[in-house]
Structure 1
Amino acid sequence: MHIPDNYLSPATCVIMFAVATPIVGVSIKRVQVRLKESRELAPILGIAASLSFLIMMFNVPVPGGTTAHAVGGTLLAILIGPDAACIAVTVALLLQAFLFGDGGILSLGANIFNMACVMPFTGYWIYNFFRKHHHATAGVLIGSYLGINFAALMAGIELGLQPLIAHSASGQPLYNPYPLAVTIPAMMVAHLAVAGWIEAFFTYVVYKFVSRVAPQEIYQASTVPTDTNNQGKLIRYFYYIIIGLLVLTPLGLLASGTAFGEWSNNELLGRLRSAHLSSTLPHGMSHGLNYGAALSDYTVPGTSLPVGYILCGVTAILIFVIISKVLTSIYGKEDK
């Protein structure tokens, strides 16, 4: 679901940034208010970003020879609120794009809108509807399943619109060459059949765990958690979960193939040629931005792929911890 650079036209990228920015901006303001009331939210934000980042490293095979992954957007929204989840996933996506080359720089607006805005807010709204009717567990499952699928639908629409809105005088696509009739089914099959169930399963397991060990820490819009002892216990448990996920991240390398719409130029060209659709890349893709991330594709020079994968996860977690420490320091001073 991480749309790379040059798959979307510049106009689409600008529009998606314009749509995502106010949502993220309002979320930041709301989270700032919560941080002033309870600075303990700061380390939880770091944990949330780490969880989302690690969850997205677990690629699974899907029909058609491609892969997909869960995101954890609805899970975080249920645990810490949709605004805080929006910020946590946004931070994870920014790090993925700039440091690891996972998702484009110009297409960040689209990726943030899909995974950090649509998913947590949609998933939480569905969950909260069922919760209010005393069916919280059903809300967890349905909200997480539909949340990731709505996000996938948005990505499919954004990709599929490109041949319609960005083409040459002769009608040749300048960016993503696949139309809506291809992109929407491709995205939805992968997420309806596989990724959505993984998202729902992971959300359910973690939700049930938190419900058992610290039920009062599950987010409710009308309250702000104040029991620091329970929060400390929950944070400690989540660090155990993060360590476990970190050790298991190389399992994400077992799935072969690249997710639909995330191919490199060479991979896409090979697909176009094998399908006899074109012998050349769309002009906008072959002449677009070519950003070289420091740890591209989660590899560390001089290490094996599994070790590099783990080291990249460690790097990301350390960055999130540093960010949360800075927030704790800032809002701790304000409390004083």
Structure 2
Amino acid sequence: MAIALPFLSAPYLAMHIPDGFLSGPVTVLTWVLALGFMTLAFKQVQRDYQEQIVPLMGVCAAFIFAAQMINFPIPGGTSGHLLGGTLAGIVLGPWAGSLVMSVVFLVQAFFFQDGGITALGANLLNMGLIGTLGGYYCYRFIRLLLGPSRWRSMAIATGVTAWLSVVTAATMAAVELGFSQTIPLKIALISLISWHLMIGLGEALITVLAVQYIWRSRPELIYSPFRHKRCVPTKNV
């Protein structure tokens, strides 16, 4: 979940970084990284994924977009909403999930003014790409440790990964604001991470419940690299 604060210090505590809060070098670097990851994700989806996953990508994008529009009140006059990167990664895989999250944040920035346009590279990188790519592989690693065939291992892996994705996104935003000299790095880290340690619990709960529902009703929708990747025929020599 991402936090949004309605008072003056909101940009320091919200992960949707607005325009004017990042320095030129940080803005350029985050845009380059975000565009690089998005290009790689697009090529990977074109090359490896079956065409049947495209409708699921649309459904997942619509769900995450709608879910992010719902803000939950948090004590102290704040609110938070779902990020959804881990959920997208688990259902769609790392690359298709990254594309879906990128589209969601692009629409939010251009049509709903949720985060700045110049800071869009940073917001894409923090909340969409790192949470989805890193989240998927973290989820897979934890499942391998606990046993891939049991629901308990999936629930633990999902919850831990969703929580980590929020904390990691908050840490990245704090570092970007700190290096931009918008706010002292120490204050940015303490402010963002302290809140998102708690907010990540909400992200974990929502993600676990969503994955549990899919697991029990339509388990074939959970991404598997062996089931969802395109089969490439080999030539007999």
For the residue of structure 2 that corresponds to 1:223, the secondary structure is: helix
Distance 1:225 1:217, change over 3 A: farther
Q: Map Cα deviations across residues 120-139 of structure 1 (whole Å, 9 max, x no partner).
A: 12221221012223122210
Whether the aligned pair in 2 keeps the contact of 1:8 and 1:159 (CA below 8 Å) is: yes
The Cα offsets for residues 234-292 of structure 1, whole Å up to 9 and x where unpaired, read as xxxxxxxxxxxxxxxxxxxxxxxxxxxxxxxxxxxxxxxxxxxxxxxxxxxxxxxxxxx
Q: Distance in 1 between matches of 2:75 and 2:178?
A: 20
CA contact (8 A) 2:26 2:179 kept: no
CA contact (8 A) 2:53 2:228 kept: no
Rounded to whole Å, the distance in 2 between the matches of 1:59 and 1:155 is 20
Helix, strand or coil at the partner of 1:68: strand
Quick one: structure 1 residues 63 and 180, their matched pair in 2 at CA, closer, same or farther if it must change by over 3 Å? Answer: farther
Give the aligned partner of residue 223 of structure 2. Answer: 219
Cα distance between partner residues in 1 of 2:44 and 2:60:
17
- Equivalent residue for 1:28, pick from 42, 57, 65: 42
Give SS of 1:104's match.
Answer: coil
Counterpart amino acid of residue 100 in structure 1: F
After superposition, residues 242-257 of structure 1 pair within 5 angstroms as: none
Structure 2: gaps of 5 or more residues: 1-14, 148-152, 231-237
For 1:58-77, what aligned pairs fall within 5 Å after superposition?
Answer: 58-62=70-74, 64-77=76-89
Partner of 2:192: 187
Residues 1:144 and 2:162 are matched in the alignment: yes
CA contact (8 A) 1:114 1:151 kept: yes
SS of residue in 1 equivalent to 2:226: coil
Change (3 A) 1:89 1:55: same
Letter in 2 for 1:85: G
Question: Which of the two has higher C-alpha Rg?
Answer: 1
SS of alignment partner, residue 192 of structure 1: helix
Following superposition, the deviation at residue 64 of structure 1 comes to 4.7
- For residues 25-64 of structure 1, the aligned pairs below 5 Å read 25-35=39-49, 38-62=50-74, 64=76
Residue 223 of structure 1, CA deviation: 2.4
With over 3 angstroms needed to count, the CA separation of the structure-2 counterparts of 1:43 and 1:121, relative to structure 1, is same
Distance of 1:108 and 1:130 partners within structure 2:
31
Alignment length, in residue pairs? 210
Secondary structure of 1:150's match? helix
Post-superposition CA distance 1:124-175 (Å, at most 9, x none): 1221012223122210110111112111110111112222xxxxxxxxxxxx
2:144 aligned to which of 116, 119, 132: 132
Q: Distance in 1 between matches of 2:188 and 2:71?
A: 19
Structure 1 match to 2:8: none
Q: 1:2 aligns with which of 9, 16, 23?
A: 16
Match of 1:198 among 199, 202, 214: 202
Identity value in percent = 35
**Residue 216 of structure 1: how far off its partner (Å):** 2.2
SS where residue 21 of structure 1 aligns?
helix
**By how many angstroms is 1:39 displaced?**
2.1
- SS of alignment partner, residue 79 of structure 2: strand
2:112 aligned with 1:100: yes
- Is 1:153 matched up with 2:167? no
* 1:18 and 2:36 are equivalent in the alignment: no
Check conservation: 2:64, 2:104, Cα contact below 8 A: yes
Matched AA of 1:140: T
**What code does the residue aligned with 2:52 have?**
E
* Cα offset, 1:207, TM superposition: 0.7
Q: Residues 217 and 225 of structure 1 are in contact (CA less than 8 Å); yes or no, is this contact kept in structure 2?
A: no
- For 1:153 and 1:62, the matched residues in 2 are separated by 20
1: CA distance, partners of 2:72 / 2:217? 30
